[in-house]
Amino acid sequence: MIKVEHIYKRYGATIAVNNASFEVKRGEIVGFLGPNGAGKSTCLKIVTCYIVADSGRVVVDGLDVLENSLEVRRRIGYLPESTPVYPDMEVGEYLRFMARARQLSPAQSREAIARVVELTGIERMMKKTVTHLSKGYKQRVGIAQSLMHDPPVIIMDEPTSGLDPHQIIEIRELIRELGKSKVIVLSSHILQEISAICTRILIIKEGRIVANGTPAELQTIVSDRSIFDARLRGDESAVGGALRGIAGVESVEVVAQADGFTTYRVTGRRTDRLGCEIFALAKEGGWELSSLSPLHDTLEDVYLQLTARGEPTQAA
């Protein structure tokens, strides 16, 4: 649905986007995550035809954004970081204005407004002036305008910025609902927002994509170690010695004791076999194994490491 190939964008001496490539397929909610100034908004503006890349290629729904700019815009609903609403208009008046801007006929306009009003839950706001709306409802009105022409692709730049916790939850649910039928790309510098909503995450730093994968995949791409918590019943000295004897194990630490069981944290070189070897060892030693849990870096750990060093990484 969206294919971005090796795009660059420079502002004077500053490289805003540096050889960025990614794809977004139908059924995905993809999040752009990165520090302020990392290049998130610039990438989205290029995809939406708001600005033009210095080089590279962008294709949306099979259409090149340079060769078919107007057709691409018809296929995209865009919510920029600053919600595009006119403060002196009533909500209903503003939506009718946006329907005309989208060149909808009067009949299409009435149908489209009824659809987006119900979808975004702004029925009670239709007679209110935009300037009197809360930030959350202004965001809803901004989302409503982006859906007016029923586009297959929705792009949102910082959709929950400045909202209170209740408003954030409401916008999250709305985005999830939209994601059932549309391709959604959104940006944020807030890890919790991206991880709570998105099926796939792109991490960007200094204009470069430094990671691309699902939340689960990203948790495994940074660490070069395998870590397991093994809860075992058996002689502590014998169990600990046996665990330390596994090839590649670097440390064994007792982290808990309860009900006759001891929990050992086993750390070793990155391998797909460590868990299997712990299980086989327990069976061979006749020790009761009640749980064996792999531990991964948190998304926060991954994000901090990748944005600190900025080395390009691709999740499997």
Q: What is the pLDDT of residues 257-279, one digit of tens each?
A: 999 999 999 998 877 789 999 99
In this prediction, residues 61-67 reach a mean pLDDT of 94
Q: Is the pLDDT of residue 154 over 90?
A: yes
In this prediction, residues 124-128 reach a mean pLDDT of 95
DSSP state of 129: B
Q: How confident is the model at residue 94 (pLDDT cuts 50, 70, 90)?
A: very high
80 φ, ψ to 5°?
-70, 170
pTM reported for the whole predicted model: 0.75
Q: Is the pLDDT of residue 312 over 70?
A: no
For residues 222 and 302, the answer to whether their CB atoms sit within 8 Å is yes
Q: Where do we find the tokens 């948790």?
A: 219
41 φ, ψ to 5°?
-65, -35
Summarize pLDDT for 167-196 with one digit per residue, the tens: 888 888 888 888 888 999 998 888 888 888
User: Which residue blocks in the chain are alpha helix, DSSP H?
Assistant: 40-47, 69-74, 91-101, 106-120, 135-146, 165-179, 191-197, 215-218, 236-244, 274-285, 299-309
Q: Is the pLDDT of residue 314 over 80?
A: no
Summarize pLDDT for 21-49 with one digit per residue, the tens: 999 998 899 999 888 889 999 999 999 99
How far apart CA 7 and CA 76 sit, in angstroms, is 19
In this prediction, residues 115-121 reach a mean pLDDT of 91
Contacts of 47 (CB under 8 A, 6+ apart): 2, 4, 58, 60, 65, 76, 155, 185
Q: What is the rounded end-to-end Cα distance, in angstroms, of the chain?
A: 20
Q: How many CB atoms sit inside 10 A of residue 61's CB?
A: 18
Q: Is the pLDDT of residue 313 over 60?
A: no
Q: Is the pLDDT of residue 75 over 60?
A: yes
pLDDT of residue 87: 93
Summarize pLDDT for 95-117 with one digit per residue, the tens: 999 999 999 999 999 999 999 99
Q: Is the pLDDT of residue 311 over 70?
A: no
% residues pLDDT > 70 (the chain):
97
Summarize pLDDT for 192-248 with one digit per residue, the tens: 888 888 999 999 999 999 999 988 788 777 666 788 999 999 999 999 999 999 998
SS3 219: coil
Beta partners for residue 9, in sequence order = 17
Average pLDDT of the residues of the chain: 89
All domains of the chain in start order, with CATH: 2-218 (3.40.50.300), 225-295 (3.30.70.3190)
